[in-house]
């Protein structure tokens, strides 16, 4: 509730500012997302995606008629995806109430569901207006800060699906990605535009705290290897918003 109140207060301030002749435009966006995880370890494979949603405020500062710096703030829900671990091991060792046995069989699947506070920054380049429409492209950088993380486990020796595990201690606080987007603006009245488009984002930092995980290679019996893999969060977003 406190987050929602602060968000609405900021929204009211943004709309008020957008009415001034400052070179700034403000707006809102509610955008569905498809997220998935990738890993640099050949024994860990992405095996599923998450449907999520991103909502928040967006702002644009036009330093020329068709060029603007963009930034924003908001929340992103249900980000992550599924990872299948081909080798047996001790995964998510910091998770409370983890099911026995603690050594999971090969081909165990771990599902991540993460919530972030996010700050996107980008550069918007748009065309001149054709009737009521302008087209644009928008390279961007996204900074994310974890607020919550839930997990689900499914494996041969887990007794079926185990859901709603608190995996906050298994996920790094900070996330960062670089992306490219595009779309169009449709003028519905003077100074007010509907925005539609897409954004493809690729993670560039490791989101998982797996340094304390142990992996067991069948070719080296009795030897526990440290899991130093790097897991990255990627996302495709369908942008839906309005600018004032």
Whole-number pLDDT of residue 174: 97
pLDDT of 98: 64
Asked whether residue 22 carries a pLDDT value surpassing 60, the answer given is no
The pTM of this model reads: 0.86
- 142 or 4: which leads in pLDDT: 142
- Count other Cβ atoms within 10 Å, centred on residue 217: 13
Which of 1, 15, 28, 66 has the alpha carbon at shortest distance from 194?
Answer: 28
pLDDT higher at 217 or 65? 65
pLDDT confidence of 228, banded at 50, 70, 90? confident
Length of the chain: 244
The chain-wide mean pLDDT, for the chain, equals 87
Q: Predicted confidence band at 18 (pLDDT cuts at 50, 70, 90)?
A: very low
Quick one: 24 exposed, middle or buried, by C-beta within 10 A (0-12, 13-18, 19+)?
Answer: middle
Return all residues near 161 (Cβ < 8 A) that are at least 6 apart.
152, 153, 154
- Cα dist. 195→72, 90, 111, 210 in Å? 15, 46, 32, 39
User: Quick check: 51 pLDDT over 80?
Assistant: yes
pLDDT of residue 9: 47
200: pLDDT strictly greater than 90: yes
Instruction: Assign a CATH topology to domain 2-243.
Output: Porin (2.40.160)
């Amino acid at each position: 509730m406190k987050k929602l109140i602060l968000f609405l207060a900021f929204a009211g301030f943004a709309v008020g500012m957008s009415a001034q002749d400052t070179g700034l435009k403000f707006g809102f966006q509610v955008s569905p997302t498809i997220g998935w995880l990738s890993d640099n370890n050949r024994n860990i494979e992405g095996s599923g995606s998450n449907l999520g949603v991103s909502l928040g405020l967006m702002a644009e500062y036009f330093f020329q008629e068709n060029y603007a710096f963009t930034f924003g703030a908001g929340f992103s829900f249900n980000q992550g995806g599924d990872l299948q671990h081909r080798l047996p091991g001790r995964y998510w060792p910091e998770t409370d109430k983890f099911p026995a046995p603690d050594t999971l069989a090969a081909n165990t699947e771990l599902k991540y569901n993460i919530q972030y506070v996010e700050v996107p920054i980008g550069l918007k380049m748009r065309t001149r207006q054709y009737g009521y429409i302008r087209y644009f492209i928008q390279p961007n950088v996204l900074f994310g800060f974890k607020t919550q993380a839930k997990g689900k486990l499914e494996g041969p020796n887990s007794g079926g699906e185990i859901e709603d595990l608190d995996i906050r201690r298994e996920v790094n606080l900070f996330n960062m990605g670089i992306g490219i987007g595009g779309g169009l603006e449709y003028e519905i009245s003077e100074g007010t535009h509907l925005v539609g488009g897409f954004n493809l984002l690729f993670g560039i930092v490791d989101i998982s705290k797996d340094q304390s995980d142990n992996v067991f290679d069948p070719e080296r019996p009795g030897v526990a290897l440290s899991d130093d893999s790097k897991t990255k969060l990627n996302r495709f977003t369908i942008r839906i918003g309005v600018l004032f």
